[in-house]
Structure 1
């Protein structure tokens, strides 16, 4: 009989923690999982899934005028936020039920409550201490408000899905992908959106040409994007709105202010440091290539480690953890060449190095094209898209692929397979184009526009 209550105790019911718990239990381990909020975590309940459903909802607004250009007799519709919100929460409830059923079917014991680490092999949940041979922390992250006076007047991304009504005007603070995605979403739903970002260009860290095009297209949609600008002061007005003074000297009043200025790992008051687990400067759990902490029996995966904060990565890390700890097959996590998408309008799909990063690494060739896609050009819309390949002069391998276009997330998933396999520019050139599509441009660019 084991000296521990469980072989594995997972703290956190997000995608990574649930996958690790299910797979370990499926292999015969005795597993428990604790979640203090809703099963499904950030992605399912207050992140990727509800956000993408809002992306879908926001896309129909432009579709009415486009349909008329194609001969359809349609009038602009009116978006009913309460109708959508009710349907949205029904779907999130359904998905949470799916997660719970998967855990139950796998034989995982679930605790609905906050768990804290009390030792190398122990946690406390619901006022009771439980022991486990291994502990896996998968508590994710949370949006944070900036350290500004009256910051409590603003909301964060978690709050968006529960709004009683859509505001007429909204200020979004930040220039990362969350800020830009919600700027496009809210504008698509009919909200007048202003966005402040203190940097020189949005989407810092991504390819310069791609983020420049997205910035242009966001402003084309009517988003009032102010670069080099931040909140200087904010106060509530007598009618419950928010008056904002910017660092650029502007004074404006908004119905809502959304802070999308960063996220923090959920490690506060969890007993981790007391148990010997090392935390980084941002509160993230420090782990090795196998997701193991300084305490050999305690592991961590997902956003709480602040490595690559993407749901599919957390799931991969959970699978690698099970392989390493329970299947006797030490498996490091592969964080190289991860495709990702930003669901702005238009979308941005990317894998590998930016042109700027690749140029610092080695001699490269850059192939790029920007054009008006057939569907929206016919409707006399100004939208432009971009395809870019960054190629090593020496090996001819594709070092980076960047797509700014409708459904770029779908395209980059397939392009990502080729890049991950080590495809060369000549491999792309040998591939016959699918015509007429936007994506055919990725295999028809013959001459580099820049070399360095």
Structure 2
């Protein structure tokens, strides 16, 4: 049969827009539907506006440090309302760019919700459209914990509606979203409490990084409540009271729940297309990102594999090349560099020490120091930690981890080296750029410890 489109993409975020645009460039007839905002979570209520707030928060520390370098500065205060207006204007500009990119590529865009009628038919804002192939790229959404009064708390999207900095903020969760906002609002003047179940923040990250971040958070005055579970949230006058299972109570003007996200599949009518989901609600896909329906694919956070914007974009591009560009390929989920914009920030790529040690013996190199920016200012909590995880057998650098100034910028370059499979000797023969923090990655010569010997002996 003749279809209206060769490809129809549900979702106008990073993954969906890239897939649609590249497919159209290969000559496909492409349609895209987006019900909320073009650019998705990242551009509108995620990475972009968050990073603008991180940038704003950094000025407080820089002003504090300036006296150590001879500057006399007077800080007169901060207006979240002014920042919000500038931030939102930039977000609107970027969101518009996504729409224009699709139009320039010849893609037909629909500002509407799309739901399945069958495997080849969609209801798009009340209109039936058909497509030979369909890509689901609807992303994920923040969820509240299932406790009484949870509706009184904010989710990450709600942070971008604030016009004033809360005097006291309680953050529930210790993932990257929770900790980034905790650091932002602490720098902007709020008292901040962070509540989480584990013994250390950032579950899944390298142990040394987690321990160093804990110290850094406490040094800037963030109160950490490890091993705690929220029980209920109540309003008392102009304050909220968060009760914990152990009996403790925390009060604040605002409570932010950053305890997780889930795939945004509700209401898509996936059963009509015979598309199946995992027990956690993520759409099941194979290595080619094909769902249980042969003509339907899913990419990005809706698959809950590696929920990062650049990863979703890379997968969308690869899928378009595979389906319409006569260039079958996959985007690799291994050695993906990433950053956490806490204060100080974190950059990481490759395996943690624990994961690498489970495969066999590894050499661990760790260095800790105070970066030059802080040697004169004596600002608390601004230590840098760098770490390399090296396979003893092959000498390949399996992982690189950093907490410190410019970690994200530095890790992008280190990520190339790790993805290319370079060895410790390749790092050692590289001349460092002096004086920088980054040079430490190529000057670490003394092994800190060996890990994974027991794992090797058990083989």
Fold shared per TM-score above 0.5: yes
Distance 1:31 1:233 in 2: 47
2:273 aligned partner: 275
Q: Where does residue 140 of structure 1 map in the other structure?
A: 139
5 Å-filtered alignment, 1:239-250, equals 239-250=237-248
Instruction: Give yes or no for contact 2:119–2:272 (8 Å, CA) kept in 1.
Output: no
Partner of 2:368: 370
Write out aligned runs for 1:221-232 (5 A): 221-232=220-231
Given candidates 342, 351, 373, the residue that maps to 1:344 is 342
The question of whether the paired residues in 2 share the 8 Å contact of 1:290 and 1:320 is answered with: no
Q: CA deviation at 1:47?
A: 0.3
SS in 2 for 1:273: helix
Structure 1 contact 61–77 (Cα < 8 Å) conserved = no
d(CA) in 2 for partners of 1:52 and 1:20? 25
Q: Which residue of structure 2 lines up, in the alignment, with residue 312 of structure 1?
A: 310
Task: Summarize deviations over 1:2-60 as a string: whole Å, max 9, x none.
Answer: 70001111100001100111111112111110000010100000000000001000000
Whole-Å separation in 1 of the counterparts to 2:179 and 2:323: 39
TM-score (norm 2): 0.96
Counterpart contact for 1:302–1:309, Cα < 8 Å = yes
Q: Counterpart of 1:115? A: 114
Instruction: Give aligned pairs, total.
Output: 450
Alignment of 1:157-176 (within 5 A): 157-176=156-175
Cα distance per residue 1:234-257 (max 9 Å; x no partner): 2111x2321122234322321000
Cα deviation, residue 335, structure 1: 0.7
Matches within 5 A, 1:363-442: 363-382=361-380, 383-442=382-441
Q: Distance in 2 between matches of 1:388 and 1:202?
A: 18
Query: Secondary structure in 2 aligned to 1:320?
Result: helix
1:204 maps to which residue?
203
Contact 2:79/2:164 (8 A) holds in 1: no
1:237-286 CA distance string (max 9 Å, x none): 1x232112223432232100000000000111101123111101111111
SS at match of 2:100: helix
Q: Equivalent residue for 1:261?
A: 259
**1:273-321 Cα distance to aligned partner (Å, 9 max, x none):** 2311110111111111111111111001000001110011111111111
- Distance across 1 between alignment mates of 2:335 and 2:250: 43
User: What are the Cα deviations for residues 117-155 of structure 1, in whole angstroms up to 9, with x where unaligned?
Assistant: 111111101111100011010000000001111100101
Task: Tell me what 1:40 maps to.
Answer: 39
Aligned to 2:58: 59
- Shift of the 77–362 alpha-carbon distance from structure 1 to 2, 3 Å rule, reads farther
State the secondary structure of the residue aligned to 1:361.
coil
* Cα offset, 1:229, TM superposition: 1.2
How far the C-alpha of 1:63 sits from its partner, in A, is 1.0
C-alpha distance in 2 between matches for 1:3 and 1:343? 48
User: When the two structures are superposed, what TM-score results if normalisation uses the length of structure 1?
Assistant: 0.98
Q: Secondary structure at the match of 1:261?
A: coil
Cα distance in 1 for partners of 2:404, 2:431 equals: 20
Q: CA deviation at 1:192?
A: 0.9
Residue of structure 1 in register with 2:456 after alignment: none
What is aligned with 2:67? 68
Q: Distance in 1 between matches of 2:123 and 2:331?
A: 29
Structure 1: how far apart are the matches of 2:377 and 2:164? 32
Q: Do 2:11 and 2:136's aligned partners in 1 also have CA atoms closer than 8 Å?
A: yes
**Structure 2 residue corresponding to 1:299, chosen from 297, 300, 304:** 297
Q: Match of 2:81, SS? A: helix
Where does the alignment leave 5 or more consecutive residues of structure 1 unmatched? none
Contact residue 19 and residue 318 of structure 1 kept, 8 A = yes
Mapped partners of 2:100, 2:18: distance in 1:
13
Partner of 2:454: none
The answer to whether the aligner puts 1:179 opposite 2:147 as a matched pair is: no
